[in-house]
Structure 1
Amino acid sequence: MATPKGAPDIEDFLQMLSAERGAARNTLLAYRRDLESAEEEVPLLADAGADDLAGLGKAWRDLAPSTLARRCSALRQFYGFLIDEGYREDDPSGALPRPKIRRPLPRLLSREQVETMLVQAEEEAAGDNPLAVRMLALLEMLYGSGLRATELVSLTLDTVPRDAPLLHITGKGGQQRMVPVSTRARQALSRWLELRPKGSRYVFPSRKAHITRIRLFQMLRELAGRAGLPPSSVSPHVLRHAFATHLLEGGADLRVLQTLLGHADIATTQIYTHVDSARLVELVNARHPLGAGGLAARRKAD
């Protein structure tokens, strides 16, 4: 449906997200889908009023709360863009529904389960089979650095300095961060770099560019099955959760964890605190003045 003459449209909005916020390709695709879905219900989207947007709640009533929340978020940002561009003075997005959603708790792998996968990958990579060595490097990088799937598969050679245990990562929103690489991951990665096909700028190349997130997902589940674990329990994101959870259990500071994971908001990182309640109780008992390690211990000593 055509946008009124002179009105910024969805393409303009997406270009702004890309240029000014560094939005990733997948983010842009998601915003496009959400806004085009809205445009199917409200054809003149840029000129829509509050009454028009109020009807979306009914049209989208069968959507999952998380999907509805994402679509409404895209619309709110779109109308904020129209105001910034001077096309509108009012913001009709207040009429959009506000579904209550709970952030799901991350699926977790125990240390023993991760170790089982690592042992399986190490045994398969005992020789110089390139695919087995690549699988070991991918697994070690996911668990040893907490990278997102997209960040891992799109690594380029210039982001992996051989003389420093750090990766230069460009994450969501174009945010850059330095990510330490564990000794084990560095060793596995070095083995793979000796065997990888030459001629590509990607660390994990494929015939077209680099291996895809979907292929990484499939490879991990296949490895989990060979290791005797339920394949459905394993994914790149689950291993990222394991990295974060096990670091927190080991005493990592939440702010440090936020930096390592590339979270813009500490609230996103705080979801991991639920898995470590036992350590938090132990910490309070040991450090609080009224805990077992405080006044009680000193009175006993006296």
Structure 2
Amino acid sequence: MKANQEIVNGFINHLMVERGLSENTIEAYRSDIERYVKYLDNKGLNIVKADKHILRNYITELQDLSRRSLARNLSALRTFDKYLLIHKYIDRLIMEDIESPKRERILPEVLSVSQINQILELPKEQTLYGARDKAILELLYSCGLRISELVSLDFKNILGDENLVRVMGKGSKERIVPIGGPAVKAVNYYLNHSWAKLAGSKRPQALFLNRLGDRLTRQGCWFMIKKYAKDIDIKIYPHIFRHSFATHMLQNGADLRAVQEMLGHVSISTTQVYTHLNQSHLRKAYAKFHPRAISQN
């Protein structure tokens, strides 16, 4: 329905221009709201005529989603509902009495240090793409970066003399993160041996380049990691390096606040999920090594 799509387009423009949200966040909103609009279109309904009864029926059709996905959809609908009210498409909120499901606590998957080391040895650094891939994997683990943060890095973001990287995180919030020695070495090797060849006649600002000399995309980085995953019997994906970074830091005594700052978490409760992993690590160590950990029957 054309009228519905025009309202959605205005909402997306509002998120971009007035709220300045990141591209990834906007795409998540777009996906969730367009799912809702498709439901309305199939029933010949207009957004502005939707009521609580229609909305509850729609939410019922989302019950097959995980609690996490359902909560995200409801959050998007609440934001959309407020937009409709502010712009006078509706005269009252229809989401205010609808509760979000309690979010289930899902502990992140984490690799062991030996598994990380095995993965970091996979790229053949002497090759054109191997040098780039080695630098990417080292940075992901050394700094705990999100994949979107990594592919957004420019030359100016690497403060080599200070072993630091300037990262632009979610909500355009900048943070400074230390880089470990092996990661610095890998980045320097890539810059000295592969970057210019990949750039060709172009002179981009991007740190990590694809075969065309353009900035490597998130999808391109994911494809690269997936390629290496085929070589070993370990499940790997970009965010697992971030999970492993945080968990290994805490296991080795890092302060929770420091880890929060390095990860770029707004709330420390987001970082605290890694303390549960750390507690699991401690319990296993206790059960294995304490002489009276095993109950006597």
How far apart are residue 256 of structure 1 and its match?
A: 1.4
1:205 partnered with 2:203: no
1:219 partnered with 2:224: yes
Aligned position for 1:246 = 248
How far apart are residue 246 of structure 1 and its match?
A: 0.4
Residues 63 and 277 of structure 1: CA distance in aligned 2, closer, same or farther (over 3 Å): closer
How far apart are residue 145 of structure 1 and its match?
A: 0.4
1:49 partnered with 2:47: no
1:230 partnered with 2:233: yes
Q: What percent identity do the matched residue pairs reach?
A: 34
Paired residues in the alignment total 272
Q: Is the 8 A contact 1:137 1:192 kept in 2?
A: yes
Q: For 1:175-214, what aligned pairs fall within 5 Å after superposition? A: 175-194=173-192, 195-196=194-195, 197-198=198-199, 199-206=203-210, 207=212, 209-214=214-219
The one-letter code of the counterpart of 1:56 is Y
Alignment TM-score, normalising by the size of structure 2: 0.82
Residue deviations 1:241-274 (CA, integer Å, cap 9, x gap): 1101001111111121111111122221111011
Aligned position for 2:287 = none
SS in 2 for 1:263: coil
1:75 to 74, 77, 85: 77
How far apart are residue 95 of structure 1 and its match?
A: 4.8
Q: Is the 8 A contact 1:50 1:94 kept in 2?
A: no
Q: For 1:3-42, what aligned pairs fall within 5 Å after superposition? A: 3=3, 9-42=7-40
How far apart are residue 97 of structure 1 and its match?
A: 5.8
The one-letter code of the counterpart of 1:32 is R
Q: Is the 8 A contact 1:137 1:188 kept in 2?
A: yes
Q: Is the 8 A contact 1:54 1:97 kept in 2?
A: no
How far apart are residue 137 of structure 1 and its match?
A: 0.4
How far apart are residue 170 of structure 1 and its match?
A: 1.4
Q: What is the rounded CA distance, in whole Å, between the counterparts of 2:252 and 2:133 in structure 1?
A: 26
Aligned position for 1:137 = 135
Residue deviations 1:225-254 (CA, integer Å, cap 9, x gap): 43xx324x1111111111010011111111
Residue deviations 1:3-52 (CA, integer Å, cap 9, x gap): 48xxx922222222223443222221221121111112333224422222
How far apart are residue 166 of structure 1 and its match?
A: 2.0
**Structure 2 spans left out of the alignment, 5+ residues:** 284-297
Q: What is the rounded CA distance, in whole Å, between the counterparts of 2:122 and 2:31 in structure 1?
A: 40
**Structure 1 spans left out of the alignment, 5+ residues:** 282-302
1:272 partnered with 2:279: no
Q: What is the rounded CA distance, in whole Å, between the counterparts of 2:35 and 2:273 in structure 1?
A: 31
How far apart are residue 278 of structure 1 and its match?
A: 6.3
Q: What is the rounded CA distance, in whole Å, between the counterparts of 2:261 and 2:209 in structure 1?
A: 28
Q: For 1:47-126, what aligned pairs fall within 5 Å after superposition? A: 47-85=49-87, 87-96=89-98, 98-121=100-123, 124-125=124-125
Q: What is the rounded CA distance, in whole Å, between the counterparts of 2:15 and 2:57 in structure 1?
A: 27
Residues 103 and 209 of structure 1: CA distance in aligned 2, closer, same or farther (over 3 Å): farther
The one-letter code of the counterpart of 1:214 is Q
Alignment TM-score, normalising by the size of structure 1: 0.80
SS in 1 for 2:37: helix
Aligned position for 2:171 = 173
Q: What is the rounded CA distance, in whole Å, between the counterparts of 2:165 and 2:139 in structure 1?
A: 11
How far apart are residue 116 of structure 1 and its match?
A: 1.7
How far apart are residue 88 of structure 1 and its match?
A: 4.3
Aligned position for 2:294 = none
Q: Is the 8 A contact 1:53 1:96 kept in 2?
A: no
